Structure 1
Amino acid sequence: WIKLPIINMTMQTSDLAKLALFMYLARLLSKKQDMIKDFKKGYLMVIWPVLLTCLLIAPANLSTALLLGASCLLLLFIGRANTKHLLLTIGLAMIPITLLIAAAVVRHHSESSEEAALAKTNSSALTARVETWISRVETFIYGGQESDTDAYQVNQAKVAISKGGLLGVGPGNSTTRDFLPQAYNDFIYAIIIEEYGLVGGGFIVFIYLVFLFRCIRIFKRCPFAFGAFLALGLSFTLVIQAIANMAVTVNLFPVTGVTLPLVSMGGSSFIFTCLAIGIILSVARNVEQLEGKADASSAKPAVA
């Protein structure tokens, strides 16, 4: 995190890195379509900035790095990258994830939560982050004590969802938001379900799917590869982030700390979302202008 002195707001540098990375990827994919399937001349030139960016983000925010990597790999798949190369990259990425899960399982059967908390307190910054990742995975697999912050948040989110039922308790009538620490940020989806029920929660999912569908249409209609890949990549990262946030809320994924785009209260994350949607709208407007000019040209009567 960095603090902007004039407006007195903290900004997450990974949001700026995501925007720059997708612009760079879109440029490379648009220029290397004829050699993207070649590992040395095409794929390696495209994948190394993705790996470098994710490795730089991971120590401070592992979940953001994983989601960013998933979005980039999906964009590379759409960009006709070799499937074997993509599977190789995914396999390499699964190695540290598997080690993280194994560490959580081993620690659960070897030491108590008090010993883990003491080790986290007496460790360096990077080691403390690793301990946090392990504890979150351990909490997701085995559950946790109420004294554990992550376990408490997940349990309160479950309470909010159970109160919502089919139609919810009504707008503004949530009671769990007074006990849920991240009620307006990471776990806002639980409050939406509590107030608007399963219908409201399903509607939020539907809106994100419609957004993705519209962005795919923009991608298919855009005649320029750079704009098409940029719009699609930004839409992928927003929708994947939304899916991850909602999956955490309903306990389908370990606690990540990512926000729900356009819904959660946030600073730099909200700014990145607005910038991403603005770029997508700019590409869409350019497509409409080009289609309008093409229609006008075809409608001109032939000169005798």
Structure 2
Amino acid sequence: MSLGTRIYAELRGDRTIWTIIAVLSIFSILVVYSSTGTLAYREMSGNTEALLMKHFMIVAGGLFLTYLAHLLHYMRYSKIAPYLLMLSVPLLIYTIAFGADINDARRWITVPFVSITFQTSDFAKLALILFVARAISSKQDYIKDFNSAFLPIIVPVLGICGLIAPADLSSAILLFFTCVSMMFVGRVALQYIGLLLLLGIVVFAMLVLLGEFFPEVIRSETWVSRVRDFVDQPDGGYQVQQAKIAMANGEWLGLGPGNSIQRNYLPSPYSDFIYAIIVEEYGIFTGMLIILLYVLLFFRATRLVTKSPKAFGAMLAIGLSISMVLQAFINIAVSVHLVPVTGVTLPMISMGGTSILFTCLSFGMILSVSKYIESVS
């Protein structure tokens, strides 16, 4: 028996989801290596192999994290959810006050002694989804009650999203709508969900107003300018135009691995606009395959909702999958000028240590639910 066969035999849970993870990981390594040439020459004297090895180690570490996470019974994640949520609050506050300023945004903190940057919003996002899944599942007997069920859920949702928004509005909005979707699936009364949407709009308006007085903390001017550019420029700004050129270059079959032209003109071709590089090098057919992989992930997760014997497993699977798929679609929509530029990455493909590791951890939790359903059936 070959090594690959033995490893495959050791994996538990939905094999289709494992396959999706493997395919996305392969594309991540290939396209990040191709698109980081300019970055390597700018920061590492042209040593593209060093960037490749760093990214490969992150992906490999993430896959190992997926494996470890899927071994644990998913109910253990329910037990630690409140503690993770409590930890995320001081982390987010610290990031706002003392975070590293990268690309005019304070989204990262530097880990002492090792000088590694850590994006706290990724940790908070996972913590909030775990908490909301736990809260909804534990309150199913009185889920329609305002005081006992709805209030204990919306306060953390508005609080965490409000703390993420000053430096990363896009992630805050995606997380907010993920929680709203979970509440809809969890049978929360529609009038309460409508109230939450209204409160979300109020919080957003308050942040925009506060941004006028604290521009160094709240990036409201950036939000407004991106929306204005989206409305005033039908063909998109410089970034979107270069992304469109990249995808047009790719046509149906692509220019071939490593042959991207627009990677030298696109800002962040290895993160925000990596989908354009995929289409340029591998063609529209491959771009459609990437979209289908995310759609397939969502449908495999919805199967877990109907089969999970425990409500927490169902809410965990649907919450994490909605978060990843929604983020993927927004990232792709930016490249084709369907939404304003957001700065969100393509899950499991874009370069970024924190993003990949927490995405892999999310995959592991979904597979933990799948593994338990397998063992029961």
Following TM superposition, by how much is the alpha carbon of 1:246 offset from its aligned partner in structure 2, in angstroms?
A: 0.5
How many angstroms does 1:98 deviate by? 7.8
Secondary structure at the aligned position of 1:59 is classed as coil
Q: Equivalent residue for 2:233? A: 143
Could you say which residue in structure 2 is the equivalent of 1:60? Answer: 167
- Identify unmatched segments of 5+ residues in structure 1: 104-119, 292-304
Counterpart selection for 2:216 from 125, 149, 159: 125
| Aligned residue in 1 for 2:25 | none
Say if 1:247 and 1:253, in contact at 8 Å, map to a contact too. Answer: yes
Specify the code of the residue in structure 1 equivalent to 2:159. L
| Paired residues, number | 269
* CA deviation vs aligned residue, 1:213-236 (integer Å, no higher than 9, x gap): 111112221111112211211111
2:255 to 162, 166, 169: 169
- Maintained 8 Å contact 2:278/2:286: yes
C-alpha change, 1:236 and 1:262, in structure 2 (3 Å) is same
Query: How does the TM-score come out when normalised to structure 1?
Result: 0.82
Q: Specify the alignment match of 1:78 in structure 2.
A: 185
Local SS of the residue matching 1:34? helix
2:140 match: secondary structure: coil
Task: Tell me what 1:25 maps to.
Answer: 132
Give me the identity figure in percent: 49
Counterpart for residue 268 of structure 1: 354
Matched, 1:236 2:322: yes
The 8 Å contact of residues 50 and 69 in structure 1, kept in 2 or not, is answered as yes
Say whether residues 1:245 and 2:331 are aligned partners: yes
Distance in 1 separating the partners of 2:362 and 2:167: 22
**Secondary structure in 2 matching 1:37:** coil
Distance across 2 between alignment mates of 1:124 and 1:44: 31
What residue is the counterpart of 1:194 in the other structure? 280
Question: Alpha-carbon deviation of 1:143?
Answer: 2.2
Q: CA deviation at 1:95?
A: 5.1
Deviation at 1:6, TM superposition (A): 4.7
Q: Is the 8 A contact 2:247 2:276 kept in 1?
A: yes
SS in 1 for 2:161: helix
Corresponding residue of 2:302: 216
In the alignment, residue 216 of structure 2 is paired with which amino acid?
A: A
1:36–1:42 Cα contact (<8 Å) kept: yes
Q: Larger deviation: 171-180 or 5-14?
A: 5-14
Rounded to whole Å, the distance in 2 between the matches of 1:22 and 1:253 is 24
Q: Relative to 1, partners in 2 of residues 1:18 and 1:192: Cα closer, same or farther, differing over 3 Å?
A: same
C-alpha separation in 1, matches of 2:113 and 2:233 = 43
The answer to whether the 8 A contact 2:158-2:200 is kept is: no
Q: Is the 8 A contact 1:100 1:133 kept in 2?
A: no
Q: Residue 134 of structure 1 corresponds to which residue in structure 2?
A: 224
Q: Is the Cα–Cα contact under 8 Å of residues 219 and 229 in structure 1 kept in the other structure?
A: yes
1:42 to 149, 152, 157: 149
The answer to whether the 8 Å contact 2:162/2:203 transfers is no
Q: Hey, what does 1:258 align to over in structure 2?
A: 344
Read off the aligned partner of 1:273 and give its amino acid letter: T
Question: Cα RMSD (Å) of the superposition?
Answer: 2.5
Q: Kindly tell me: are residues 7 and 212 of structure 1, through their superposed partners in 2, closer, same or farther at Cα, counting changes over 3 Å?
A: farther
In structure 1, give the amino acid aligned to 2:364.
G
Q: Gaps spanning 5+ residues in structure 2: where?
A: 1-107
Structure with higher RCO (Cα < 8 A, 6+ apart): 2
Task: Find the counterpart in structure 1 of residue 42 from structure 2.
Answer: none
Change (3 A) 1:44 1:257: same
* Distance in 2 between residues matched to 1:7 and 1:78, nearest whole Å: 42
CA contact (8 A) 2:166 2:207 kept: no
In structure 1, the residue matched to 2:194 is: 87
Alpha-carbon distance in structure 2 between the residues aligned to 1:70 and 1:186: 20
Q: Shift in Å at residue 240 of structure 1?
A: 0.6
- What TM-score, normalized by structure 2, do the two folds share? 0.67
Q: Structure 1 87/144 Cα, relative in aligned 2: closer, same or farther at 3 Å? A: same
